[in-house]
Amino acid sequence: MKFLNKIIHELLAQNADLSEFNIVLPGKRPIVFIRQILEENNYSGFLPNFFTVEELIDRIADKQPVQGISLWLFAFDVYRNLGLIPKDDFADFLKWFPTLQKDWDDILKFSDSDEAVLQYMFDEERIKEWAQDLGEDDDVPRKKFLNFWQNMNIFLPVLKKKLKEKNWATSGMIHETAKSKIVDFAKNTSEHFIFCGFNAFTPVEEKLVRSLLQWNKAQCFFQADRYYFDDERQEAGKFLRNHKMWKEFDDDRAFQWIEDDFNQPKNIKVYEVSGNVTQTKVLPEIFKEIENKTYSNTAVVLLDENLLPASLDVMYEVDNLNITMGFPLKNLSFSNAVKQLFYLQKQLEKNKSSYYYRDIFPILEELPKSAEDETIISNFRTKIEERNIVYISRKLLEGLLSGLSYYGLLKKADHTGVYLDMLISFCRDIKWLEIDDIQYENVSHFENAFRIIKNQVSPYDFEIKMETLEILINQHVNSESIDFQGEPLRGLQIMGLLETRLLNFENVIMLSVNEGKLPLGNSQNTYIPFDIRRYFDLHTFLENDSIYAYHFYRLIQDSQNVHLLYNALSSGVNTGEKSRFITQIEMESSHPIEHLIIENSSEPIASMPIEIPKTEIVMERLEKWKEKVSASHLTSYLYNPIDFYLSKILKTSETDEIEEELSVKNYGNLVHYSLQEVYELLKGKVLKEKDLLNSIKEIDQYINVAIEKLKHQPEFYEKGMNYIHRAIAKKVIENVLNHDLELVRSGNTLEILDIEKRFENVDFYLDAKDKISFLGFIDRIDRLNGTLRIIDYKTAKIKNLTVKIDENNVTDYFHNSERKQALQLCIYHYVVQNLPEFWGLPIETGIWSFAEAKKGVVSLQFEKGSIDDAMMSVKNLILEILNPDLSFIENIKSYSN
């Protein structure tokens, strides 16, 4: 800490008792390092007093600072009592006041008169429209803007007056008040102030420093470097060059200090990295280059706070870490759940009859819960997923979740005050659950936020909508962070750029050195145009760029090893452009710079197929499986042996998922179940024209029964794509019935023998002693003109129903998943010819595809071979499954154009 060391040695040379000094700093961070330096110098006296410049200004102004939510509420109360038009409610007021308030503070800090600026803004809008007839329509954008500044010329002076009556002040008002007291303060104070490491001052801060210098009650120590100080083109030295021109610096009082550190030898590396998080993956490689493995003189500077979690993940080997940034509260799981709760409340205001399942599930998943709550939630999810309920009625929600400890938070809130009380109570209760430390901190911060907002809102009698309450909470939470506990004087320092002020490190690693991050660029959220800001000496993005440039150069001027990483990928708001400061040191500095390109390879990870050997227990399960073998088991094996293993050996099943749009599987089931209902009533009958015409009229009723079988809600099919799916299903059923009707009308004899015919214990011998038993369901068995038809319904199109088996392919003919439809029909054919009730009848097997329903049944044809040859191939497939020497090997599908 070269700069701090130099200051301490200078002060000790002036006075051995440092308690005589008041050290004024840009931030609190350097204090701990100053104390360390004093300890190293064996200082045994009282410590000096430490202030930030803001604290010193506040002390001089002697006003109660007011900001954030409390200021917004007070300001709105003033605004509504003025009766200005438009009569914004609090939610509308919050859309413009926070931005205006920042502008107003800027005006108060940097201009001589806020009223002059406000009047100027109003006059400019009037001048722009002097020749235009604005008319009476207040919705014209230009007139709205004119009315806005007219209102602000009334509102802000009254707000200032009301705040003064309570001895309250915004940061701008504090500066304005302090401005008039500075001369007397400098003249009368007996204290001595040391201003350390400042760069840019507001006019009031500058007046304070210069006044104290004039009365010989202050010293200034600046940290400047000749590289950017002497060169007027360097924006980093802009403010320091102005300070050196103060008349207070003369032959008797030198401007201290201007060093020549930047031009000393440095190792600078610039890393072009493909990806944002990928930058953090480079850190371990950089750490390998650092000789001091305690990293006590190393800083990782994150210009994007969102990289903190990923950075910590790769630093698990670093023993001592000190994180000065704080973890943003908004990024934690409980914060997301609270956002979801408020979103749910807003949705309930729009739809008072039901809950959308996606609004409920994330809340139940992320909020901390007791064991009893876990059971209730698990039961709720099972019921909703099983019945595929997309929109949950209030009655059903209450029936399933009323026992939940925080059920009240899911109901429509009667009033925001009541809801706040419920949230406070909820936070208090869940802190008694077994939750981790980070979540405990998260919940505690929210409980505190809810209490603060409740206390601030209670004195006012205007309505706070749920949407407005959400804005207030978000504003509070966005400014909060959970502090880390670390070793401030040991190990690796992880910090933001502003935390580096006055500190120096031998090794500096900066991440996200992108344009838009460093500097921020023209991203000011303001109502005051650039030219007016310049006219009244308000800060613009140009001054902000100069401030960031100083922080950047000052940090690296004392460093020996500098690593600058930037994200080269363009995505979202990130342009993938490196910071202009990198370009500047590349072109203007004398340092050799090493450039490295870090690619984030997007090639898929090479993985071996899953292989599961047939162990003794697997063979035991296969022996059990032989007792109940279905055609679908074999087609599952053909598709992927691992699927067969998971479902038939491990007995696992896919979890239910809620479908917002009917899946292909359930569309098939809808048609299938409907046809089952239709033909169940016609079973055992020789079909007449009248039977089929009546069935066609009743299709809607049959579909409703099928929907009940699927456990779906009727309203699921009332709109959108599901309405269309139902209509298509109805058309398919009509086509099936009409096809049968044409057969009957043409003089054919059609008799429905069975629907969903169950068969089991149909033996199939693998050799003289070993056998398996088939079981399954046949969708439809009918007799057409004396021929027995075995019919299987399929959603997919028909393919490969012509069998060509000979001695060359009989062993592996059905080892091809493309022939699974034929495989299934061959097994059905074998089963039916072995059922006593169908002995001796001519058999035809076929598929009726819903995709081509008008075609009717497409039959299995043997161009070569016979059913016996087909069953020989089926036997070989079963023997492969049962072979203990052949493992289950994953079938990886290849995707090609």
Q: What span, in angstroms and rounded, lies between the C-alpha atoms of 452 and 472?
A: 11
pLDDT digit string, tens, across residues 305-326? 888 888 888 888 888 888 887 7
DSSP letter for each residue of 638-663: HH-HHHHIIIIIS---PPP---SS--
Give the mean pLDDT of 463-487. 77
pLDDT of residue 848: 94
Residues 6+ apart with CB under 8 A from 139: none
Cα–Cα nearest to 617, from 261, 331, 884: 884
Res. 597: pLDDT tops 60? yes
Res. 284: pLDDT tops 50? yes
Res. 697: pLDDT tops 80? yes
pLDDT digit string, tens, across residues 441-473? 888 888 888 898 888 888 888 878 888 888 888
Residues 6+ apart with CB under 8 A from 486: 320, 321, 322, 323
Ranked by mean pLDDT, the top range of 462-466, 568-572, 681-685 is 681-685
Q: What span, in angstroms and rounded, lies between the C-alpha atoms of 711 and 713?
A: 7
pLDDT of residue 135: 53
pLDDT of residue 626: 93
Res. 129: pLDDT tops 80? no
As a whole number, the mean pLDDT across the chain is 88
pLDDT digit string, tens, across residues 752-773? 999 999 999 999 999 888 999 9
pLDDT of residue 456: 87
pLDDT of residue 377: 92
Answer whether 517's CB lies under 8 Å from 579's CB.
Answer: yes
pLDDT digit string, tens, across residues 731-742? 999 999 999 999
Answer whether 525's CB lies under 8 Å from 508's CB.
Answer: no
- How deeply is 514 buried, as exposed, middle or buried, from its count of CB atoms within 10 A (0-12, 13-18, 19+)? buried
Answer whether 580's CB lies under 8 Å from 517's CB.
Answer: no
Res. 643: pLDDT tops 60? yes
Q: How confident is the model at residue 896 (pLDDT cuts 50, 70, 90)?
A: very low
Residue spans of alpha helices (H) in 254-389: 278-289, 308-314, 333-350, 357-366, 371-386
Percent of the chain with pLDDT over 70: 95
Q: What span, in angstroms and rounded, lies between the C-alpha atoms of 547 and 540?
A: 11
Res. 437: pLDDT tops 90? no
Give the mean pLDDT of 269-288. 89
- What are 382-387's contacts with CB under 8 Å, separation 24+? 382/656, 384/357, 384/658, 385/655, 385/656, 385/657, 385/658, 386/656, 386/711, 387/711, 387/712, 387/713
pLDDT of residue 217: 93
Res. 605: pLDDT tops 70? no
pLDDT of residue 897: 40
Q: What span, in angstroms and rounded, lies between the C-alpha atoms of 57 and 67?
A: 16
Angle at 605 between CA 601 and CA 606, to 5 degrees: 130
Residues 6+ apart with CB under 8 A from 661: 720, 721, 722, 725
Q: How confident is the model at residue 625 (pLDDT cuts 50, 70, 90)?
A: very high
Cα–Cα nearest to 861, from 785, 787, 804: 804
pLDDT of residue 137: 54
Q: Of the given ranges (112-126, 465-479, 645-659), which has the lowest mean pLDDT?
A: 465-479
pLDDT of residue 133: 54
- C-alpha dist (Å) from residue 511 to 101, 286, 299, 323, 561: 32, 12, 11, 15, 14
Tell how strand 258-259 and strand 750-765 pair up.
unpaired
Instruction: Phi first, then psi: give them for residue 126, nearest 5 degrees.
Output: -65, -40
pLDDT digit string, tens, across residues 368-421? 888 898 999 999 998 888 888 888 888 888 899 999 988 999 988 888 888 899
Tokens (6 digits) for 241: 């060059």
Instruction: Phi first, then psi: give them for residue 276, nearest 5 degrees.
Output: -75, -60
Res. 723: pLDDT tops 70? yes
pLDDT of residue 895: 47
Percent of the chain with pLDDT over 90: 46
Q: How confident is the model at residue 138 (pLDDT cuts 50, 70, 90)?
A: low
**What do you get for the CA distance between the two ends of the chain, in Å?**
61
Give the mean pLDDT of 558-587. 86
Angle at 498 between CA 492 and CA 500, to 5 degrees: 40
